Amino acid sequence: MRVYAAGATGPIMTSSPHHPFHHWVRLEQPRLGTRVVAASDEFFGAKERLIDYAEPVFVPDRYDDHGKWMDGWESRRKRVPGHDWCIVRLGIPGIVHGLDIDTRHFTGNFPPEASVDACRSDKELPADDEWRELHPRSALQGNSQHFLPVQHAHPVTHLRLNIYPDGGIARLRIFGEVLPDWSRENHNDIFDLVALENGGRALAASDEHFGSMHNLNLAGRGVNMGDGWETARRRGPGHDWVVLALGHPGRIERVEIDTAHFKGNYPERACVQAARLDAEDRANLVAASESWPIVLPESKLGMDQQHFFDKQLQDVGVVTHVRLSIFPDGGVSRLRVIGKLAMPEPVKEER
């Protein structure tokens, strides 16, 4: 947890980047600390490629000492009973809501079936009796993405991808949400309430043509222009926006809008709105967010720099969600929403 210091049942196959789980966080990203810790076999393709952040590629004339180079995890042809497997340890524990078992570029060498197990464990390699089925054994196709819904209510730390009997998987994407344990935190501390590792999550955006909304609350500053949220050039009326959920209800004390690497394409202005929502309010989230109370009035932005706002902020009380609006369009690398956790309200005793 980061403390901010002051100063369906079957697979859905598609190639669209806006897949059914786009509103969830990708928990398998190596930048979050996720690692591939073990595999039964990786003769043709290293196990680490399974969670490579980049999309898989095919290089026709590339070979290595083991044969044809493939951009993924690939085991040798199994000549004995059993099946191959690969274990991923999440950098941040989370609840899994969906999976993508991606066999792109694997045609005559993909596994015909796969299943996924999961567990919560402090061990590097969990014991056999710790694993529970996350998604049952399902048929796969070659050169395809298989989006698999998951119904599992508990946070996990490890996932085990089982392939039957052998073959290659380009990528395993793990979609879900981070659920930090706030019970041990001091409510007087200052936190980045929207940070991914603190449970914050981007929910919806007007446009993500050049950069994903999920980059906004990643740790650290953006590494390049592609490591931020960037919209297409707006040719009509209106402006772009993104809505995010905080990891914990809190009171906002400071806002940071970072336009790192955005020079000829940063927004001219930005504003931030916020609200406290109950579960039943979230169905009409986007429409309702237009009229949320203003935390940061429209403020001028500059290129390639961090903008810190505190005195300009308006107190709107305890909030659970924020909306960042940019005028009229452009790119923002990071958004930080700094504040204190809201104390739980005392339970009233009935007389």
Cis peptide before 81 (omega within 30 of 0): no
Residue 8 has pLDDT above 50, yes or no: no
pLDDT, tens digit (0-9, with 9 covering 90-100), for 180-217 = 888 888 888 999 999 999 999 999 999 999 999 999 99
Residue 50, pLDDT score: 98
Residue 320 has pLDDT above 70, yes or no: yes
3-class SS string, the chain: CCECCCCCCCCECCCCCCCCCCCCEECCCHHHCCEEEEECCCCCECHHHHHCCCCCCCCCCCEECCEECCCCEECCCCCCCCCEEEEEEEEEEEEEEEEEEECCCCCCCCCCEEEEEEECCCCCCCCHHHCEEEEEEEECCCCCEEEEECCCCCCEEEEEEEEECCCEECEEEEEEEECCCHHHCCCCCCEECCCHHHCCEEEEECCCCCECHHHCCCCCCCCCCCCCEECCCCCCCCCEEEEEEEEEEEEEEEEEEECCCCCCCCCCEEEEEEECCCHHHHHHHHHHHCCCCEEEEEEECCCCCEEEECCCCCCCCEEEEEEEEEECCCEECEEEEEEEECCCCCCCCCC
pLDDT, tens digit (0-9, with 9 covering 90-100), for 124-171 = 999 999 999 999 999 999 999 999 999 999 999 999 999 999 999 999
Q: Average pLDDT, whole number, for the chain? A: 92
- Start-to-end C-alpha separation, the chain: 40
Burial of 308: CB neighbours in 10 Å, binned 0-12, 13-18, 19+: middle
Dihedral (CA of 242, 248, 250, 254) sign: negative
Residue 351 has pLDDT above 70, yes or no: no
State how far the Cα of 85 lies from the Cα of 50, in Å rounded to an integer: 12
Which is nearest to 115 in space by CA: 86, 95, 94, 144? Answer: 86
pTM comes to 0.88
Higher per-residue confidence, 265 vs 1: 265
